[in-house]
A and B are shown apart, each in its own frame.
Chain A
Amino acid sequence: MRRRLGFAVTAALSAALPLVLPQYTLTIVTEALIFGLFAMSLDLMVGYCRLYSFGHAAAYGLGAYSCGMLLARLELPLPVGIVLAVAITVIIAIPIAWVCTRSTGVSFSMLTLAFAQLGYAMLYRFKEFTGGSDGIDGIPRPVGPFGIAVLQGKLGYYYLVLFCLFGSYLLCRTIVRSPFGAVLSGIRENETKMRALGYNTRAYKLTTVVLAYGFGALAGALFAAFAGFASPELFFWLASGRVLIMVIVGGAGTLIGPILGGAGFLFVENQLSQLTDLWPLIFGTIFIGFVMFAPQGVWGLITRSIEKSPAVTEAIEREETSGAAS
């Protein structure tokens, strides 16, 4: 109940945001939300399964390039382009996930990195197809079916991104709360035990990776139509590192934390890099601080302090005794 209220309030506030924000801030906020979605997709792997991927940029890049090519070359409508881009990435992600989940720990991380770098290299190889170092530019936002032009505008696109973000969040939350998610936390805590119990842990991990790629691709596809542009830098390992940082700083394993971390980071980076030359230094230091002293991330800190407050403890006790589950 508490959560549903919180969700509704957040949704309402975000929907009302464009009314108070100036134009250029809306652009940044839209991009921040896309990045938040991207970070959340990685959280499925990192937070819920402890699979540290250093190549998640590949999901974003695949989504962006697929969508970009479909919109620019085949001139498909925007929603179709996005859905197909996600589908294409999911299909490509299956063999990637299959190979990566063969290993655990550091090897897993390195394999994901290898695939992302391979993707980066492939973009240059097939330059007639992918545009090489130029990438794909001039990605249009075509008029939708029935001549609906609302998505072409900045406001319309903001709502589209918001819709995708909230929708994805709800989907992810359902997944992690389901029996599937329960198995994942079991794997996260002690994989050997889960295997001893008869679970095919590899299949679960594979599915998680593919899901993460799917949501990541959604973010990438939204980005391609937003920026009108896709370039190889999207695949580079530094981009993967960045989003991983966002998940940790936001709070791994909470879904909300990474959304805030990702969106917040992009927004802050944008504003601060105007003011100071030292932004990357500050950002790196903050990150180190979080890793050392607050590994649960920002959201983890916030929820912990909320959960510890007496009012909340009372409310929880009341809920539990009344037998109502939220």
Chain B
Amino acid sequence: MDFLGFAVTQCLNALSQAAVLFFIACGLTLIFGIMRIVNFAHGAIFMLGAYVGYTAIAITGSFLLSLVVAPIVVGIVGMAFERVFLRPLYGRRDGGSYLMLTFGLAVVLSEAIRLIWGAQPLGAGIPRFLRGVVFVFDQPFPLYRVFLIALGVAAAIAVWQFLERTRAGLLIRAVSQNAEMVHALGVDVDMVRTVVFGIGCAMAAFGGALAAPLVTAFLGMGTTVVIDAFVVVIIGGMGSFLGSIIGSILIAFVQVVGSYYFQELALAFMYLLMLLILVIRPGGLLGTEE
């Protein structure tokens, strides 16, 4: 394989990983930005999206439909959770409660998934129209990953436009900067929070439904991915949407390059980078946290 072909393939590999990471990290950072909650359940939500997506394909036979169904179903579950469990806790001053609560949700959700779908990994495989390879400088690259990258870019643009250009987006940004002020202006801040939590969960579920054909839906898929997502959000800056994009790409490249050239350090690389950035800029690259 000549160097150019190899380099481009590796970039594309990294970008496809970054896309999946982005779906999770974006939701995580949105939720943090608006509620100052670190959602430990985000990995389990991602997993739920994968399983719901699998079932949607099993029932309807359509992959594209599952990409619509999974985020909606999981988004609703997320909103319900926020409404029932998180909202009553808003009065409490310590942030520890939220961490605990979402951690508890992660445990309960993972178990519920195991009880409903069983312990066997479930894979519907890649849909027919997305199989096949494209050739990049004479090297094969899966069409499905190209699809992933395209969707990732589309979603990033969509969310960006939503936040910047729409009234709802304005509200969200306002609440994340100064909730009391917005509340004083007569806006139902609680509702905004619920909706944002739902959107965050929906995005993670979307990522899950996309990842399932790639890696199959399996128990434990949430546990490793949520740590990666945390690292992305921390590096990019908690609460920063742009940070989640940059963080996803950065982490994906670090992982790809790291595992290629420094195989033994593959795991450690990411955490070292996170520590480095946190030491230099405690809020992350684009963060607003002290």
Q: CB atoms of A and B under 8 A apart anywhere in the complex? A: yes
Chain A residues proximal to chain B, CB less than 8 Å? 46, 50, 52, 54, 99, 102-107, 109-111, 113-115, 117-118, 120-122, 124-125, 237-238, 241, 244-245, 248, 277-278, 280-281, 283-285, 287-288, 291-292, 295
Minimum CB–CB distance from A103 to chain B (whole Å) comes to: 4
A115-B282 in contact (CB<8A): no
Q: Chain A: which residue is nearest B268 at the CB level? A: A121
Q: Chain B: which residue is nearest A127 at the CB level? A: B264
Query: B283 interface residue, CB < 8 Å from A?
Result: yes
Give every chain B residue within 8 A of A281 (Cβ-Cβ): 107-108, 111-112, 115
Determine the distance from Cα of A248 to Cα of B108 in the docked complex, in whole angstroms. 17
Q: Chain B: which residue is nearest A279 at the CB level? A: B111
A238-B223 in contact (CB<8A): yes
User: Which residue in A103, A109, A121, A241 is a CB contact (below 8 Å) of B38?
Assistant: A109
Determine the distance from Cα of A46 to Cα of B179 in the docked complex, in whole angstroms. 27
B268-A125 in contact (CB<8A): yes
A118-B265 in contact (CB<8A): no
Minimum CB–CB distance from A46 to chain B (whole Å) comes to: 7
Give every chain A residue within 8 A of B106 (Cβ-Cβ): 284
Give every chain A residue within 8 A of B105 (Cβ-Cβ): 284, 288
Please provide the 8 A-B residue pairs with the shortest distance between their CB atoms, ordered closest to farther.
A121-B267, A284-B107, A284-B108, A121-B268, A288-B104, A118-B271, A281-B111, A287-B104
Chain B residues proximal to chain A, CB less than 8 Å? 32, 36, 38, 40, 85, 88-89, 92, 94-97, 99-101, 103-108, 110-112, 115, 223, 227, 230-231, 234, 238, 264-265, 267-268, 271-272, 274-275, 278-279, 282-283, 289-290
Give every chain A residue within 8 A of B279 (Cβ-Cβ): 99, 102
Besides A50-B94, A106-B36, A284-B108, 15 other A-B contacts (C-beta < 8 A): A52-B95, A102-B279, A106-B95, A109-B99, A110-B230, A118-B271, A120-B267, A121-B271, A122-B268, A124-B264, A125-B265, A241-B40, A245-B100, A281-B111, A287-B107
For chain B, what secondary structure do more than half of its interface residues adopt (helix, strand, loop), or is it mixed? helix
A114-B104 in contact (CB<8A): no
B275-A114 in contact (CB<8A): yes
Give every chain A residue within 8 A of B96 (Cβ-Cβ): 46, 50, 52, 248
A124-B267 in contact (CB<8A): yes
Give every chain B residue within 8 A of A107 (Cβ-Cβ): 234, 238, 278, 282-283, 289-290
Determine the distance from Cα of A109 to Cα of B105 in the docked complex, in whole angstroms. 18
A245-B95 in contact (CB<8A): no
Q: Chain B: which residue is nearest A108 at the CB level? A: B282
Give every chain A residue within 8 A of B40 (Cβ-Cβ): 241
Determine the distance from Cα of A281 to Cα of B100 in the docked complex, in whole angstroms. 15
Determine the distance from Cα of A213 to Cα of B97 in the docked complex, in whole angstroms. 23
Minimum CB–CB distance from B33 to chain A (whole Å) comes to: 12
Minimum CB–CB distance from A180 to chain B (whole Å) comes to: 22
B289-A106 in contact (CB<8A): yes
Determine the distance from Cα of A111 to Cα of B36 in the docked complex, in whole angstroms. 17
Determine the distance from Cα of A248 to Cα of B96 in the docked complex, in whole angstroms. 10
B282-A102 in contact (CB<8A): yes
Minimum CB–CB distance from A132 to chain B (whole Å) comes to: 10
A248-B100 in contact (CB<8A): yes
B101-A291 in contact (CB<8A): yes
Give every chain A residue within 8 A of B230 (Cβ-Cβ): 110, 113
The contact sample of 14 A-B pairs, CB cut-off 8 A, is A105-B290, A106-B95, A107-B278, A110-B230, A114-B231, A114-B274, A118-B275, A238-B223, A281-B112, A284-B106, A287-B100, A288-B85, A288-B105, A292-B89
Give every chain A residue within 8 A of B227 (Cβ-Cβ): 113, 117, 237
Minimum CB–CB distance from A300 to chain B (whole Å) comes to: 14
Q: Chain B: which residue is nearest A50 at the CB level? A: B94
Give every chain A residue within 8 A of B108 (Cβ-Cβ): 281, 284-285, 288
B38-A106 in contact (CB<8A): yes
Q: Chain A: which residue is nearest B284 at the CB level? A: A107
Give every chain A residue within 8 A of B110 (Cβ-Cβ): 280
B111-A278 in contact (CB<8A): yes
Given the contacts A103-B290, A107-B282, A291-B101, A115 and B275 also touching, CB distance less than 8 Å: yes
Give every chain A residue within 8 A of B238 (Cβ-Cβ): 106-107
Give every chain A residue within 8 A of B104 (Cβ-Cβ): 245, 284-285, 287-288, 291
Give every chain B residue within 8 A of A118 (Cβ-Cβ): 268, 271-272, 275
Determine the distance from Cα of A99 to Cα of B230 in the docked complex, in whole angstroms. 18
Determine the distance from Cα of A295 to Cα of B88 in the docked complex, in whole angstroms. 13
Determine the distance from Cα of A281 to Cα of B106 in the docked complex, in whole angstroms. 10
A104-B290 in contact (CB<8A): yes
Q: Chain B: which residue is nearest A46 at the CB level? A: B96
A117-B88 in contact (CB<8A): no
